[in-house]
Structure 1
Amino acid sequence: MLRYSRFITAISLLILTLSSVQAEDWVYRLRGGDSLSKISAQYLKNEISSVRLQYYNQIKNPTRIPLGTEIKVPLEWLKLTPSPAEVLSLEGEVSIVRAGESDPVLLSEVDQLQIGDVVTTGRQSSLALRFADGSRLMLGPETRVSMDTLSAFGEVGMVDTRVRVQYGRVESEVEPLQGAGARFQITTPAAVTMVRGTGFRVGVESGSGLTRNEVMKGRVAVDGGGESLNVDAGFGTMIEPGKPPLKPRPLLTPPDISRLGVEMDLPAAPLRWPGLEGAEAYRVQLLRGEPGAGVIVEQVLATPEFTLPELISGSYRIRVRGIDELGLEGLSAEHRFLLNEPPPRPPPPPPPVKVEVPVIEAPQFNGPWMWVRWNAVDKAWGYRFLVAADPALQQRLLERIGTNTERVLPVPWPGTYYIRVDALMESEDDVRQSQVYRLDLPLSQPRP
């Protein structure tokens, strides 16, 4: 009777074990001091006994297992622990709706993201996240992402990361995944993208769910419309909801911004680079110089030129890439530059006599900087400073409002510029304009 009971128990365990067999298992190589009981206690869920592990691996005597034996474990038997995402950098305002809650709050740089959290970036905001295995996810402006799964398989080193992009653009840098159960997956309304270690971007149009995938390195697998395809580095694809992915097409090459590396000095006029063949538009990102920093300013431009905003001193990066007729974004070109503090300004002239309209004086130059001054106007609450490429000031390059009667700015590129100052009075209809000052900077003039 006892033998029959043991036989029935063994058969039951065998049936239960075989029902859990998967195409891929986690494999543990037996070392000195190990046992099935120790492996079960350290790595397996509480309901999984060492006896089940023994039968799964068809081990006759659990007390005499040779060192180096490979012990196979079904992935679903392994312990799962929450593995929150860390905020690496945050620019602007980013809101978060915590799992189980309905009201958004502002995210801070010390927060962590848990399973079920939903984050949304603002119009000129960005967020960089780091997951448990070191992989990174960068969210661009006006992007919403849900943290569907953030888990680790106990102590075995495998991480399961699954995020859902509802709309916007994200860029991933995925560390090589270790183990059969490791996963990094991005889901959109149109497709599922799975990788084993690579760099790629995903863009999702709000409303339509149209998805674009662009691969910078490695390879990704894209599933959509019941079909799957592989996309290699340097290629991209587009997926409409319910339809299969388009055949991968080459991404645009990086734009040539080498000229910026020679002449970058924060000019007042726009920064320009040669047009890229096949580019319908350009995405320009301004980032801080330190590794992992988020995007400060991001714009999509129809022409190959970009005007820098006013910046404090420090290290920065400019990243530029072309966008083709399908909206796929090409490979990026990046330029680093350092903005130093401006030198001490020249001694100010004697206090000007107050007049009815501002009068622009001849600019003063000091290295790469120039000062433009004008007379104060009695009862003016502020001044509008304008720089344009034409005498009628229709093609404006710079417009700033302030209370000072001077402006310090980097020396523009060689060319002809037109400057005007408007005195702003209490009445909106009372705007007192200065003369239009013509500034000629000859091509032969050397730039510091």
Structure 2
Amino acid sequence: MLRTIASAFLLIAITSSAYADNISVTRDGVIYSVSQHETLSSISQKFTGHVKNWRTIGQTNQIENDRAIPIGRKVLIPTRLLTPVSAFARIKSFFGDVVIRGHDGSAIEAKIDALLKEGDTLTTMANSFISLMLDDGTQFTLPPNSVVNLRLLRATQYVETPRTQLYLQKGRVESHVTPLNKPDSKYEVISPLAVSGVRGTDFRVNVDDQRVLNEVLEGKVAVAQNTAVNKPSKQLVAAGYGTVVENGRVSKPVNLLKAPLLLDGYQQQTRLPIQFPLSHADASAFRVVISTDAAGRNNIAEISVRSSQGKAVAKLENLEDGAYFVRASALDAVGLEGVSTIQAFRVDARPFPPFLLQPGTKFQGQVQNKKIPVTMKWSLAEGIRDYRVQVASDAAFKTLIFDQTAETGQDQMIVSLASGNYYWRVASILQSGSTSKQGPFGDAKPLAVVAGLDAPSASIGQKEIQFSWSAAPGQHFTFQVADTPEFKTLLNNIESAKAEVAIPRPEAGVYYARVRSTDSDGFVGAFSPAQKFSVPLQWRTEYDATLESQGQPLGTSY
């Protein structure tokens, strides 16, 4: 195909060069200086491709005798008679799955700068785009799920008058047309129901089921119904207006909705999914297009979302880190897409932060040197060995209490904090050679740090032992006694609503007691340090009564 295109360009170049000295181009056509032995018939053949046009050329120039033309006579060949030559559409960008077929059904590979010709058909699949440019600078873009046939791609030789027809079979096409200043120039988007013709403008055409929607952003577009047997219904649609072709007629143009408001937060995206909060009081839906250029030609993603009371959040599952542009527009109740706003934004979501594992929202620990050691633990992300930990007294992290990078490869850090309320978060740091990149911090987690219970104090009586400890209102307690500090075998396990319990006096020996609290919100604290206590041996009578001397029990300290 490229060889054929090159040959066509070469033919045009040779033809133009051969007549360069005696040809001039005007708005009305080509003025040619007649050479020796030339006739209107030969001139007609050279410029129009047919001998039959000699009479029209003669009438235009008031030449009656075909064979008696003076050498050097200036002859005007009207533009409408000049030979049309093939024009081409150059692929400027594409993304995703784009299928291109030649007029004979052959597959054509989508490549940047590839030239497509008349009769080729382009199909964009889901989340796919393609943008093409014509020789005069006109560009058109197909968003996802669209089908366009290049029905007419021509240019008039010498005067270079473009004539373009796109047949939109399905979906949408967005056109940015270079002003057409020559009389026979045309750019049309044809669909099964409508014809939209322009002479230089930005506009959109959308084939939607049994109707066609036209939206004009700049210039004017003539929209005509395409299936009428008699005189078709027509409307001239100005910039900022849209019209719908449906049920055999073209509706009266209506104002397009103004651009929606992109609410703050979209400029710096540090979380997935990517989110764009949108607002427009009259919107029934919103459309968001992501591109890598401000002009919106190199599109890579599109999202449509319904509006709820004029608001919505458009979400994109994934996008690589980097700089992008978002184009957002609002759709009215009939589906006409309004004026767009284009804004820059960045994605800086990588490396992803780890999951926070412990502590929970409340931590109870023993006070050491007026502070409580808190072990903060997180998950290890694949390929990440360094993490930054921050603790603050406020959710905005304006007042940092702790800010430190953990030792390489560590998944936890001990931070000493006074009793109080805090927030903590962790960020991943990606090391690559001598450079490093810190990703965004994960969601901050609130943390209430409270002092743990003191070890219970024991009061040993003749028949029972009383234990008590300090407590806060609303707490209930779990009290345990064991004969080893590991508490593997429990001798007592008592639930109590009070900060005290009594147990029967055990046999003489060494024992350990501990207690933990459960707050009214369900938080279960840590066990207190174990309280070691000794129960002395008591001498008893044959009736199992305590043997006493001077009112005191006799026994041996164990």
TM bracket, shorter-chain basis: 0.5 to 0.7
Which residue is equivalent to 2:93?
89
Do the aligned partners of residues 84 and 410 (structure 1) sit closer, same or farther apart at CA in structure 2, a change above 3 Å counting? same
CA distance in 1, matches of 2:206, 2:405: 44
Distance 2:332 2:259 in 1: 12
Q: Report the Cα offset of residue 30 of structure 1.
A: 4.0
- Asked whether 1:43 is paired with 2:47, we answer yes
AA partner of residue 151 (structure 2): D
Distance 1:179 1:28, change over 3 A: same
Could you say which residue in structure 2 is the equivalent of 1:278?
Answer: 282
Question: Which residue does 1:98 correspond to in 2?
Answer: 102
**Which amino acid is the alignment partner of residue 70 of structure 2?**
T
Which of the residues 332, 350, 353 maps onto 2:340?
Answer: 332
Query: Partners of 1:194 and 1:85 in 2: how far apart?
Result: 18
CA distance in 1, matches of 2:405, 2:50: 74
Which residue of structure 2 aligns with residue 398 of structure 1? none
Name the SS for the 2:127 alignment partner. Answer: coil
Q: Would the aligned equivalents of 1:128 and 1:292 in 2 still touch at CA under 8 Å?
A: no
Q: Is the 8 A contact 1:88 1:130 kept in 2?
A: yes
Question: 1:393 — aligned with what?
Answer: none
Question: Which residue number corresponds to residue 248 of structure 1?
Answer: 253
> How far 1:150 moved relative to its partner?
0.7
Residue equivalent to 2:459: none
TM norm structure 2: 0.53
Describe how 1:45-444 pairs up with structure 2 within 5 A.
45-48=49-52, 50=54, 52-59=56-63, 62-63=69-70, 71=76, 73=78, 75=80, 77-101=81-105, 106-205=109-208, 208-224=209-225, 225=228, 226-240=232-246, 242-257=247-262, 259=264, 263-268=267-272, 271-289=275-293, 291=295, 293-303=297-307, 304-339=312-347, 360=378, 364=388, 410-411=440-441
Per-residue deviation, 1:104:
5.0
Letter in structure 2 aligned against 1:248: P
The structure-2 alpha-carbon separation of the partners of 1:343 and 1:174, relative to structure 1 and needing over 3 Å to count, comes to same
CA distance change for structure 1 residues 309 and 343 in 2, over 3 Å: closer, same or farther? closer
Question: How far does residue 255 in structure 1 lie from its aligned partner after superposition?
Answer: 1.1
* Aligned-partner Cα distance in 2 for 1:321–1:409: 31
Change (3 A) 1:408 1:323: farther
Over 3 Å counting, the alpha-carbon distance change for 1:190 and 1:64 in structure 2 is same
Residues 130 and 142, structure 2, Cα contact 8 Å, conserved in 1: yes
1:266 and 1:335, CA in 2 relative to 1: closer, same or farther beyond 3 A? farther
- CA shift at 1:26, angstroms? 6.7
Distance 1:33 1:105, change over 3 A: closer
In the TM superposition, what is the alpha-carbon distance from 1:212 to its structure 2 partner? Answer: 0.3
- In 1, the alpha carbon distance for the partners of 2:198 and 2:379 equals 62
What per-residue deviation string (whole Å, max 9, x for no partner) do you get for residues 311-370 of structure 1? 334331101000111000000011113457969999xxxxxxxxxxxx746983699xx9
Alignment size in residue pairs = 342
- Write the letter of the residue equivalent to 1:169: R
Q: Deviations over 1:68-107 (max 9, x none)?
A: x8x36261x2211111211110100101221122x65653
For residues 235 and 54 of structure 2, what CA distance do their matches in structure 1 show?
40
Distance 2:378 2:330 in 1: 41
Instruction: Give the distance between the partners of 1:270 and 1:338, measured in 2 at CA.
Output: 10
In structure 2, the partner of 1:399 is: none
Distance 1:48 1:269, change over 3 A: same
> Which residue identity does 2:157 align to in structure 1?
G
**Deviating more after overlay: 242-251 vs 266-275:** 266-275
User: Higher mean Cα deviation, 263-272 or 189-198?
Assistant: 263-272
Q: Distance in 1 between matches of 2:206 and 2:352?
A: 46
C-alpha displacement of 1:42: 5.7
Distance 1:132 1:44 in 2: 22
Describe the superposition over 1:386-419 as per-residue Cα deviations: whole angstroms up to 9, x where unpaired: xxxxxxxxxxxxxxxxxxxxx985357x9879xx
Contact 1:43–1:155 (CA under 8 A) maintained in structure 2: no
| Residue identity in the other structure for 2:388 | Q
Residue 165 (structure 1) shift: 0.5
Kept in 2, the 8 Å contact 1:371–1:408? The answer is: no
Conserved in 2, the CA contact under 8 Å of 1:322 and 1:330? yes
For residues 288 and 55 of structure 1, the distance between their equivalents in structure 2, rounded to whole angstroms, comes to 55
Give deviations 1:165-195, integer Å, cap 9, x for gaps. Answer: 0110110001111322211011111101110
Q: Which has the larger radius of gyration?
A: 2
Shift in CA distance, 188/51, structure 1 to aligned 2, threshold 3 Å: closer
Partner Cα distance (1:416, 1:181) in 2: 68
Residues 201 and 213 in structure 1, CA contact (< 8 A), matched pair in contact too = yes
Describe the shift of the 1:289–1:244 C-alpha distance in structure 2 as closer, same or farther (beyond 3 A). Answer: same
Tell whether the 8 Å contact from 1:360 to 1:374 is kept in structure 2 after alignment. Answer: no
- Relative contact order, CA 8 A, sep 6+: which one is greater? 1
**Cα distance, 1:127 vs structure 2:** 0.5
CA distance 1:105–1:255, shift in 2 (3 Å): same
- Quote the offset at 1:36 in angstroms: 8.1
What amino acid is aligned across from residue 247 of structure 1 in structure 2? K
Change in 2 beyond 3 A, CA 1:325/1:365: farther
Question: If the length of structure 1 is used for normalisation, what is the TM-score?
Answer: 0.66
Conserved? CA contact 1:268–1:410, under 8 Å? no
Q: Structure 1: which 5+ residue stretches go unaligned?
A: 1-24, 347-358, 377-406, 418-448
Structure 2: distance between partners of 1:265 and 1:341: 7
Q: In the alignment, is the contact (CA less than 8 A) between 1:54 and 1:62 conserved in 2?
A: no
2:205, 2:215 within 8 Å by CA — same for their partners in 1?
yes
- When residues 269 and 128 of structure 1 are mapped into structure 2, their CA distance, relative to the original with a 3 A threshold, is closer
Classify 1:140/1:52 alpha carbon distance in 2 versus 1 (closer, same or farther; 3 Å). Answer: same
Aligned 8 A contact 1:219 1:233 in 2: yes
Distance 1:275 1:98 in 2: 43
SS at match of 1:43: helix
Q: Any gaps of 5 or more consecutive residues in structure 2?
A: 1-25, 355-376, 381-386, 391-396, 398-403, 413-436, 447-558
Task: Tell me how far apart the structure 1 counterparts of residues 316 and 92 of structure 2 sit (CA, whole Å).
Answer: 25
Alpha-carbon separation, structure 2, partners of 1:233 and 1:163: 21
Query: Percent identity between the aligned chains?
Result: 26
When residues 100 and 320 of structure 1 are mapped into structure 2, their CA distance, relative to the original with a 3 A threshold, is: same
Report deviation, 1:115.
1.6
Does the Cα contact within 8 Å between 1:174 and 1:199 map onto a contact in 2?
yes
How far apart, CA to CA, are the structure 2 residues paired with 1:156 and 1:53? 17
Partners of 1:184 and 1:83 in 2: CA distance: 13
Go from structure 1 to structure 2 and tell me whether the alpha carbon gap of 1:48 and 1:340 turns closer, same or farther (over 3 Å shift).
farther
2:537 maps to none
Task: Evaluate the alpha carbon distance shift between residue 41 and residue 410 of structure 1 in structure 2; reply closer, same or farther with a 3 A threshold.
Answer: farther
